[in-house]
Structure 1
């Protein structure tokens, strides 16, 4: 079965564009939420809407990935087109991670504290003073410091988990490509066998044609010889008749 490359009026492309449109809509919602007080009902309402849209966005990404796998399995698209679409899906997933990070930044009050703590320590290093980690400061009690360190550790663990998920997805893509390559190789071998059989049949047919042509020539030559003998006999009979009359 031949591979078909579909570009115009492709439902997958339209769904991908709709997913990108939803991404822009969610980013606008996040931007609007930043201008509202965190304790206000408007902030809570927008946050609920953002969470719902993020769930929709994640579900659409899953559907897009499944449709790429199905189209590739049915050979509706080429391998190169499938890889291109998978890269687009991965970009959508990257956008999802960015949106969730921006969303959680406002919801997590310790994120800004952690940034301020890191910034102040960097400034202390630049000024040649103490780093602030061991200094006594009434404005920064030990409890806040412990929470900030825990936040950093949690984010590092989340980043590692995200990398593990990315590696698993990459492994799946490579496995699918290997299976596709093996299928294509089997198909090529099968087509080569068909071509070899066809060549054998053509060669046999050529031999039969040559043999038939040779037989026709032999029969034609025999027919001509027979005609000559008939003419000779008729002439001989004619000569005998003329001689007897004379």
Structure 2
């Protein structure tokens, strides 16, 4: 996957280099000459486009930072590139307004062999071209993707475990519901049987009373009859 920000940056840097070359070429001509006027118009138009491209790069870097599409390390590196690009934009404006060797010397000064000063990078990126930087960024993105995949797998396993636990809890709840139903039915049967026992107990007690009464009645009859037999 190609990083459009880096491609836009390369185009902007190349445009700035072209502007600097046109300014240098313009300053070789007389200020009242036709080539000077023509080159000045071209530089003025190119500088307007250059400023728009710089603003576009700044906005693109802000969006990439807010959406976490690049690492913080890459954000810092690109911010340094942007700072140097903005500084050289001011140098171009100064060079465009002034001509002469002194102005060009001031523009070229700064303790660096590169008049743009935008290609200075951390030591770890020295000797690496834009393709190498893109490959390095893609490697970082791949590592992040692998980390996200591993995290996704862990979350998926935890989700499956939670589902299994939920299913097991559901089964246990069903078993508990069945036990409660059986317990309720057993309790109701016990209540019914207890009532039956009480009824039978009351009936048994009544029968006993009747037996005693009958036996007493028979005894009275016997006692009453026996003495009368002896008198006869």
The TM tier, using the shorter chain, reads 0.3 to 0.5
Q: TM-score, normalised by structure 2?
A: 0.45
Q: Radius of gyration: which is bigger?
A: 2
